[in-house]
């Protein structure tokens, strides 16, 4: 899809300009808001061209006599998202850091290394009400440690990193944030500018591939008598070119001929006869300046790691420090560098490759979804489902159950807004098949309509708010189970559970929405009152119709015509619908008026709701009315008793009246 319209841009600062490259970043859109990758972030090289070429840019000015237009192609498309609106760029040592604003109210930090490899994006800010970020954003001009942005009518200041939250060196390094490093003399994780100028500052390396603090590799000599263990510390030391660096291997393993350590490498040579068949556990203590830490390494005979070339075997080989070449684990030094999962993901045994046709739901809230359904082909051997936002992000994985060749069930975990890739993992470790799951905002409950109900419950109540299509149920403190909801025509509604007609009422309760494993509160409450009190009804013939007037004591329910469904019970168990017309109020009495069309018989035994009628038909009409006798006037007390207990019960698909007298 072409994306030609520019939404926001930023020049990428470089201290080497004007002699170096001038890079420029832009956010472009294709205008299709339904596309999950509607916007892209791309970088361009807009460096000044040589002055000898009359057709191109000059430094600082543009030659007025242009013969042709230079069309630039992007160096790289760095990031795709559904609704980016703004971009701001800063250089942090060798890294380029992008701050990206989105239409759904997020500020995303995207770090890019010197090879233009993208690290896992991180969300720095989330707008609760999904208000979009304005195109212009600014770095704090004093220390560049905060981003200023506009959301709605507010200026918001967001820290570019939370370095102080990391309490140890390893935790600081594991945060993989180019802004954060370990201030050696102060023993804390900090920004570089906040660290004592006399102190060294230990941070992550220049590229995103190294996600382990210590990596190692083993190599056997040509004669086979010696094994060389090379340990590498993946960090960068700022403010010194030759830091104090020491490595001590346990058990006096290393020969005296081992090379001296040279940051970031240290070496240990030992006799191959000291490597037992089960492998050798080696503990190495490392010191960089005043920071000391230890790592446990497991050295294995690389030649013993054999078998069909699967991703598991490849990972075992690489984890042991051996080399994976030509589908075989060997002692020879390998040129393969990078994450093990990238190198080993292509291998697997001969399972039928799974194919993903659909995932339901494929659009969900940031809280995830339980019991998602995947349909496809060859799903019998799938052991888990993997969801990954980017190749450098740690994937989320979920187990599967109820799997067949054509479908399986799994849980979709929570995540930030945006689209993630989904694939099916086979026993060998390969992840095949391709699908997308899109995370949207969390549902919000701003109110209930109506905000009250009657004690016997079952009143139809609408939930007001946003993103309600992701709600799986409603939680009431007076209900033992999660209440089933219905979503249609962009409206969410449910039937209130009973509270108890004998309880002291009114009472106000809190209502919650259930979304995956989260319970979200509504900002308004629901009030229970005693049931409506229906006092009498009259029947009057009007031509071929019979008009029914039901009297009810005025209350705070504000019952509407759509909430009422009434049927008249005539002789011989005949049921006639009473079509609702109007509700009037006078002198603390509500008059509910309806008509039975084309009905001359006004000898009405009782009135029922449609729900009651369905219940009686299920139980058997003759049995229900068999003990009333033939003359209803002779059983007026029985009729009144029946109507007091049951007639017009559940007016609003669930209202329960009382004190109803029949007027015959």
User: Which range is most confident: 69-78, 162-171, 389-398, 533-542?
Assistant: 162-171
Please state whether beta strands 5-12 and 575-586 pair in parallel, antiparallel, or not at all (unpaired). unpaired
CATH number at residue 411: 2.60.40.10
Instruction: For residue 470, give the nearest of 435, 425, 423, 517 by alpha carbon.
Output: 517
Query: Taking 70 as the threshold, does the pLDDT of residue 385 lie above it?
Result: yes
pLDDT for position 15: 63
Instruction: For residue 47, give the nearest of 30, 72, 27 by alpha carbon.
Output: 72
Residue 305 lies in a domain: no
Instruction: Supply φ then ψ for residue 514, to 5 degrees.
Output: -100, 120
CATH number at residue 12: 2.130.10.10
Tell me: do 119 and 11 sit in the same domain. Answer: yes
C-alpha–C-alpha distance, residues 475 and 483, integer Å: 6
pTM of the model: 0.74
Query: Taking 80 as the threshold, does the pLDDT of residue 483 lie above it?
Result: yes
CATH number at residue 172: 2.60.40
- 226-254 tens-digit pLDDT: 999 999 999 999 988 889 999 999 878 89
Classify burial at 610, counting beta carbons within 10 Å of its beta carbon; exposed 0-12, middle 13-18, buried 19 or more: middle
pLDDT for position 65: 55
Strand partners, 297: 282
pLDDT for position 633: 21
CA 302-304-309 angle, 5° bins: 85
Residue 121 lies in a domain: yes
DSSP SS3 for 497: coil
- 397-439 tens-digit pLDDT: 999 999 999 999 999 999 988 889 999 998 877 888 999 999 9
Contact in structure between 122 and 215 (CB atoms under 8 Å): no
Q: Which domain range does residue 631 map to? A: 534-662
- 625-641 tens-digit pLDDT: 322 223 222 222 333 32
Residue 311 lies in a domain: no
Tell me: do 201 and 294 sit in the same domain. Answer: yes
DSSP SS3 for 469: helix
β strands within 441-502, DSSP E: 444-449, 452-454, 460-466, 473-475, 486-488, 491-495
Strand partners, 525: 510
Contact in structure between 421 and 433 (CB atoms under 8 Å): no
Tell me: do 515 and 541 sit in the same domain. Answer: no
Query: Taking 80 as the threshold, does the pLDDT of residue 122 lie above it?
Result: yes
Tell me: do 490 and 370 sit in the same domain. Answer: no
pLDDT for position 350: 63
Q: What is the DSSP string of 183-226?
A: ETTTTEEE-STTS-TTS-EEE--SSTT--SSEEEEEEE-TTSSE
Contacts with 71 (C-beta within 8 Å, 6 or more apart), sequence order: none
pLDDT mean across residues, the chain: 83
Residue 171 lies in a domain: yes
Contacts with 294 (C-beta within 8 Å, 6 or more apart), sequence order: 283, 284, 285, 286
Question: Quick one: tokens of 201?
Answer: 């500052």
Contacts with 11 (C-beta within 8 Å, 6 or more apart), sequence order: 22, 23, 24, 25, 89
CA dihedral 88, 93, 94, 97 (to 10 degrees): -20
Averaged pLDDT, 119-144: 88
The 291-299 sheet, strands edge to edge: 245-249, 280-288, 291-299
CA dihedral 618, 619, 623, 624 (to 10 degrees): -90
Query: Taking 70 as the threshold, does the pLDDT of residue 542 lie above it?
Result: yes
Which of 440, 456, 478 terminates a domain? The answer is 440
Which of 256, 277, 299 terminates a domain? The answer is 299
Tell me: do 284 and 396 sit in the same domain. Answer: no
Helix H or strand E segment including 384: strand 384-388
Identify the band that residue 372 occupies on the pLDDT scale cut at 50, 70 and 90: very high
Residue 228 lies in a domain: yes
C-alpha–C-alpha distance, residues 276 and 297, integer Å: 14
Tell me: do 510 and 471 sit in the same domain. Answer: yes
Tell me: do 109 and 256 sit in the same domain. Answer: no
Averaged pLDDT, 572-591: 89
Residue 340 lies in a domain: no
Residue 310 lies in a domain: no
Which of 465, 500, 529 terminates a domain? The answer is 529
Averaged pLDDT, 114-134: 87
Contact in structure between 113 and 94 (CB atoms under 8 Å): yes
CA dist list (Å): 218 to 275, 303, 332: 12, 12, 8
Strand partners, 576: 568
C-alpha–C-alpha distance, residues 248 and 52, integer Å: 59
Helix H or strand E segment including 136: strand 133-139
Domain count, the chain: 5
Residue 330 lies in a domain: no
CA 444-448-453 angle, 5° bins: 145
pLDDT for position 536: 87
Chain centroid offset of residue 397 CA: 14
Identify the band that residue 648 occupies on the pLDDT scale cut at 50, 70 and 90: very low
Query: Taking 80 as the threshold, does the pLDDT of residue 613 lie above it?
Result: no
DSSP SS3 for 250: helix
Tell me: do 542 and 512 sit in the same domain. Answer: no
- 83-102 tens-digit pLDDT: 899 999 999 888 999 999 99
pLDDT for position 268: 93
Exposure string over 166-191, b if 16+ CB within 10 A, otherwise e? beebeebbebbbbbbbbbbeeebbbb
Tell me: do 33 and 139 sit in the same domain. Answer: yes
Question: Quick one: tokens of 375?
Answer: 């349909």
Tell me: do 27 and 152 sit in the same domain. Answer: yes
Tell me: do 287 and 387 sit in the same domain. Answer: no
C-alpha–C-alpha distance, residues 134 and 601, integer Å: 70
C-alpha–C-alpha distance, residues 427 and 407, integer Å: 17
Q: What share of the chain is helix, strand, coil (3-state, %, to 5)?
A: 10, 45, 45
Tell me: do 11 and 105 sit in the same domain. Answer: yes
DSSP SS3 for 399: strand
Contact in structure between 558 and 482 (CB atoms under 8 Å): no
Other Cβ atoms closer than 10 A to 24: 18
Identify the band that residue 323 occupies on the pLDDT scale cut at 50, 70 and 90: confident
């Amino acid at each position: 899809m072409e994306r030609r319209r520019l939404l926001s841009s930023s020049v990428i600062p470089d201290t080497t300009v004007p002699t170096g490259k001038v890079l420029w970043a832009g956010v472009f859109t294709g205008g299709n808001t339904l596309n999950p990758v509607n916007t892209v972030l791309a970088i361009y090289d807009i460096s000044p061209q040589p002055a000898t070429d009359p057709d191109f840019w000059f430094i600082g000015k543009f030659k007025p006599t242009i013969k042709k237009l230079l069309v630039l192609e992007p160096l790289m498309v760095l990031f795709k998202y559904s609704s980016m609106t703004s971009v701001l760029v800063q250089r942090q040592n060798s890294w380029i850091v992008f701050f990206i604003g989105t239409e759904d109210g997020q500020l995303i930090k995207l770090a890019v290394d010197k090879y233009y490899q993208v690290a896992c994006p991180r969300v720095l800010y989330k707008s609760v009400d999904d208000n979009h970020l304005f195109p212009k954003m600014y770095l704090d001009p004093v220390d560049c440690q905060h981003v200023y942005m506009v959301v709605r009518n507010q200026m918001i200041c967001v820290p570019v990193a939370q370095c102080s939250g990391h309490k140890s060196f390893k935790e600081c390094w594991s945060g993989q944030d180019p802004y954060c490093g370990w201030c050696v003399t102060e023993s804390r994780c900090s920004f570089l500018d906040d660290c004592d100028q006399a102190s060294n500052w230990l941070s992550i390396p220049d590229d995103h591939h190294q996600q382990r603090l210590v990596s190692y590799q083993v190599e056997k000599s040509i004669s086979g008598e010696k094994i060389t263990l090379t340990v590498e510390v993946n960090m960068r030391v700022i403010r010194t070119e030759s830091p104090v660096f020491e490595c001590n291997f346990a058990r006096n393993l290393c020969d005296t001929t081992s090379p001296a350590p040279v940051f970031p490498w240290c070496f240990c040579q030992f006799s191959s006869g000291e490597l037992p068949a089960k492998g050798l556990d080696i503990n190495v203590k490392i010191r960089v300046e005043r920071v000391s830490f230890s790592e446990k390494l497991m050295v294995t005979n690389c030649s013993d790691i054999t078998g069909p070339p699967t991703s598991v075997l490849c990972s075992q080989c690489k984890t042991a420090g051996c080399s994976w070449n030509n589908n075989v684990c060997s002692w020879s030094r390998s040129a393969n560098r990078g994450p093990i999962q990238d190198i080993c993901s292509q291998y697997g045994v001969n399972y039928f490759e799974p194919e993903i046709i659909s995932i339901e739901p494929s659009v969900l809230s940031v809280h995830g979804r339980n019991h998602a359904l995947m349909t496809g082909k060859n799903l019998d051997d799938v052991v888990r489902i993997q969801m990954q936002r980017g190749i450098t992000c740690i994937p989320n994985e979920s187990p599967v159950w109820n799997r067949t060749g054509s479908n399986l069930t799994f849980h979709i975990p929570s995540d930030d807004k945006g689209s993630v890739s989904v694939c099916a993992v086979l026993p060998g470790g390969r992840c095949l098949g391709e699908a997308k799951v899109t995370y949207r905002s969390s549902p919000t409950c701003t109110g209930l309509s109506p905000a009250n109900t009657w004690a016997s419950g079952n009143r139809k109540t609408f939930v007001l708010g946003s993103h309600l299509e992701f709600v799986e149920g409603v939680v009431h403190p007076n209900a033992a189970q999660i209440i089933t909801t219905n979503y249609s025509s962009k409206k969410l509604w449910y039937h209130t559970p009973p509270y108890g007609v004998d309880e002291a009422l009114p009472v106000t309760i809190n209502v919650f929405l259930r979304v995956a494993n989260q319970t979200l509160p509504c900002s308004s409450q629901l009030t229970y009152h005693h049931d409506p009190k229906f006092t009498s009804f009259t029947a009057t013939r009007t031509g071929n119709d019979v008009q029914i007037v039901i009297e009810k004591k005025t209350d705070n329910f504000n019952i509407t015509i759509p909430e009422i469904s009434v049927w008249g019970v005539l002789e011989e168990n005949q049921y006639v619908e009473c079509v609702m017309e109007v509700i009037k109020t006078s002198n603390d009495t509500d008059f509910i008026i309806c008509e039975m069309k084309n009905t001359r018989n006004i000898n009405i035994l009782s009135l029922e709701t449609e729900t009651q009628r369905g219940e009686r038909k299920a139980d058997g009409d003759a049995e229900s009315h068999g003990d009333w006798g033939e003359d209803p006037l002779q059983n007026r007390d029985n009729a009144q008793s029946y109507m007091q207990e049951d007639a017009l019960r559940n007016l609003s698909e669930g209202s329960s009246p009382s004190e109803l007298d029949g007027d015959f």
